[in-house]
Chain A
Amino acid sequence: MSILFLLVPLGMLFLGVAIWAFVWAVRSGQFDDLEGPAHRILMDDDDPRIPGRRDSSSDET
């Protein structure tokens, strides 16, 4: 069981890292808007146009 004397302090080290990461996230504004990003990812900015939609091309034919 002596290995615990190494593993538990190691766990505490990870705890410190986790807290540091969380504090960084709060500082950099990751928690400011909890709803928007979930929706934003669904919006396609590069939506390819439907071919028949383009006014100019349909006029030419």
Chain B
Amino acid sequence: MAEDAPSCFHCGLPVPEGSDYTVEIAGQTRRMCCPGCQAVARAIVDGGLESYYQHRTATAPTARELVPAALKDLDIYDQPQVQRSFVRAADEANVKQASLILEGIVCAACVWLNERHVNALPGVVEFRVNYATHRATVKWDDTRIHLSDILRAISEIGYIAHPFDPGRQEQLYKRERAQALKRLAVAGLGAMQVMMVAVALYAGDYTGMEDRMQIFFRWVSLVIATPVVFYSARPFFTSALRDLRRRQLGMDVPVALAIGGAYLASSWATLTNRGEVYFDSVTMFTFFLLAGRFLEMGARHRAGQAAEELVKLLPAMTTRLTDTGEETVAVADLAPGDRVRVKPGESVPADGRVLEGRSSVDESLLTGESVPVPRGPGDRVVGGSVNVESPLVIRIEKVGEETVLAAIQRLLDRAQSEKPRLAGLADRIAGVFVGVILLLAAGVGWYWWQHAPDEAGWIVLSMLVVTCPCALSLATPAALTAATGSLTRLGVLTTRGHALETLARATHMVLDKTGTLTEGRLRLVATEPLGKESAEACLGLAGALEQASEHPLGRAILRVAPDERPPVSDARAEPGQGIEGVVNGRRLRIGQPAWVASLSGSEPPAPGDDGATEILLGDEQGLLAVFRLRDELRPGAREAIAELRRLGLTPLLYSGDSEAAVAAVARELEIADFCARMRPEDKLAGLRALQAQGAVVAMVGDGVNDAPVLAGANVSLAMGSGTQLAQASADMILLSERLAHLPEAVGMARDSLRIIRQNLGWAVVYNAVALPLAAMGYVAPWMAAIGMSASSLVVVVNALRLNRRYTDASATRPPPGVRPA
């Protein structure tokens, strides 16, 4: 290990100077960066699991912050009411079973470590981790161990486990996958056998073959192809039927027509012993298409699972006050009139009024306002907002359907149902193409019927086979699968199919401010001394006063204040105003300008116009300093917006925050169009107005208040740290949280649209050449088969180009929009 830059043996982060955390692992003393990693490493060593360090291929996540926070609330998972949603009874008596999502799994050694550690606990019946999905199933004897003990044991070795409800989605995925695999296997094995027989039949055409042998081989092909057509190709038939019922010509119509037509004609030829058989084409075609769809399904499932990982099954519990004391109840069981106690850091369970206590509540996720608002007795509080400072007792007024949160949810549902959809490029082309082919086939059939009735049936069929829509139907999914795969590696999840195509055609991009363009937390940007004392000294005093503060403003100051803090006596927090205390014999106040100024009877300075939040520090003689805090822009926001503009998108800023704060951000990012103080309804209305002018709008947001707009936009992206509701209503999720990935996603979307166009173009050209030849009767069956395979291969290889370019390095790719000549 290099001595000059020691790094933590457990997590790989540099070891801070002067710290001394060590653990003896396999006979060697290893340095750790923090007590968290030390505790985790010691737990691993004590459990006799050192081989983890020997086998791991990546360093573990830092344990620093995980352990205390995760340990806090685990007991709640033992409550029967909470368990109801995710725990099932296993077959044996007293044994229960649950599914867990494991966070922090980076390599196979993590899986081994977790399995060994948890299986060693007395009372655990079975614990298995799925490495591919990072899910675990646990079975335990409820009389010997509690679920919280298991979760705690997992957090001891530095991972976080939280239960989830595998219910609907997971089961559905599993069934769908098993079904697809079986169909694929039948088609694949069948295609191989039929191909083998077909080679013999083709060879027989040239070298001559006994008649009875030919008949026998045809019957063999028929027998093998039958399950392929009736079992493997069934999804194509059902979906084509659905399309026809809705009076549309989808991609599955020609597919079903080709498979069904070729199969029926070949069967007829086998039964009557005249004409050609196409069983090889039928089975190969089915297999290729199924394989493409299987890969597509895999990408879709992975995206869905990653999205589900964000949806933690939070126990929505609250503390209800009764005549005899307190009890913990589920939020769903609350009724109007109940009194609940909300501790600092907890969220308000439902809409109500404050009975006792004074505090500030953070409504930023609901309204977009970046600074917590003060609330005292008699004030209304909204369910879903977070209590910041001190305990509140609240009388519940509205629950369930009547709350503000539920109203936003309803708005969301409506927006989703009214979402404008752009018909996919491939769908439109396919509709036209299929119509043309069918008409042509009918025309050619009629012509040959007039001139050579014996030939007509075969020529029409060979036309349908040679124009085999394989390339056409693979064109879009192949490109989209490659593109979504690359984007997922970048950290941009695509959860809905149309997202990429629509994003490529977006003309406007609406952005939310708090939590999207900004980090959603305040930061000290300037300290201006007003008296004799230096900025540094004022910051020291402010840090001393704010030591115990939970308020975001206080914490922002603490992050930058010097570590040595003079002792404070007689400290007192005035909710909604600030903190007062005595430092070195001076009575000081920090907080709201008016309140601080009133201590010395002076005038507060005029507020600045840059949208920053200002807090004052003062003593009894006068004012000492003004601290300006802002919700800082995310790194790379400027470049990302500039890049978007270069790509031809018009950026807009819609926010629920104050006019000044929004204007400041808009100025900094050079966004001309911005609106402040917007409620979810206003945002949605603004969006509709844009769409009415013909704009294709992409929306980026994170909060609950953004959810209806995300759902209403043509295509929408939610931030990875955003609320569950926002992510559920978005088409894509920006897990990486890097705004620079926005223009990259747009570029990627445009590239994939270009590839789709090329693929469709190729398919159309191929068909335009092959069709007349087939119509004139020049195409032999083996030529048609080769043509089909080659045209599909071209399409797939072309789509894979998309994959390679973006995995190499996004920096070296040509600017999006520049087309190769």
Interface set of A (CB-CB < 8 Å, partner B) = 1, 4-5, 8-9, 11-12, 15, 18-19, 22-23, 26-27, 31-36, 39-40, 42-45, 47, 50, 52-53
In the complex, chain B residues 164-203 whose Cβ is within 8 Å of any chain A Cβ:
174, 177-178, 181-182, 185-186, 189-190, 193, 197
Give Cα A35–Cα B57 distance, bound, in whole angstroms: 15
A33 touches B132 (CB 8 A): yes
Q: Does the CB pair A23–B112 fall under 8 Å?
A: no
Q: Say how far A37's CB is from chain B's closest CB, in angstroms.
A: 8
Q: How far is the CA of A15 from the CA of B186 in the complex (A)?
A: 9
Size range of the interface on B?
20 to 34
Residues of A contacting B190 in the complex (Cβ-Cβ under 8 angstroms): 15
Contact A33 B130 (CB under 8 A): yes
Structural contact, B220 and A8, CB atoms closer than 8 A: yes
> CB-CB < 8 A to B111: which residues of A?
36, 39-40
For the complex with contacts A26-B185, A42-B55, 16 further pairs of A-B residues with Cβ separation under 8 Å are A1-B213, A8-B217, A12-B220, A22-B182, A22-B185, A26-B178, A31-B178, A31-B181, A33-B133, A34-B132, A36-B131, A36-B132, A39-B111, A43-B51, A43-B108, A52-B27
Pairwise interchain contact B112-A15, C-beta atoms closer than 8 A: no
A29 to chain B, nearest CB (A): 9
Closest Cβ neighbor of B133 among chain A residues? A33
* Residues of chain B in range 205-237 having any CB-CB distance to chain A below 8 Å: 210, 213, 216-217, 220, 223-224
A31 to B132 CA separation, bound complex (whole angstroms)? 11
Residue of A nearest to B217 (CB): A8
Given contacts A33-B132, A35-B131, contact A43 B216 (CB under 8 A): no
Contact status A47-B108, CB under 8 Å: no
* Cβ 8 A contact of A26, one of B55, B182, B193: B182
Closest 8 A/B residue pairs (Cβ) = A39-B108, A36-B131, A43-B112, A22-B185, A33-B130, A35-B132, A35-B131, A26-B178
Given contacts A43-B55, A44-B51, A47-B51, contact A15 B210 (CB under 8 A): no
Q: Which residue of A lies closest to B54 (CB)?
A: A47
Neighbour of A12 across the interface among B27, B108, B182, B223, CB < 8 A? B223
* A residues in contact with B174, CB < 8 Å: 32
Bound-complex Cα distance A52 to B28 (A): 11
Residues of A within 8 Å of B464, CB to CB, are: none
Cβ-based interface call for B330 (8 A): no
Q: Are B189 and A18 neighbours in the complex by a CB distance under 8 Å?
A: yes
Whether B109 is near chain A, meaning CB under 8 Å from some CB there, is yes
15 A-B residue pairs with Cβ-Cβ distance under 8 Å, sorted by A, are: A4-B213, A4-B216, A11-B193, A22-B181, A26-B185, A35-B108, A36-B131, A39-B107, A39-B111, A40-B111, A40-B131, A42-B108, A43-B51, A43-B112, A44-B51
B108 partner, pick from A31, A36, A45, beta carbons under 8 A: A36
In the assembled complex, the CB of A9 is this many whole angstroms from the nearest CB of chain B, namely 8
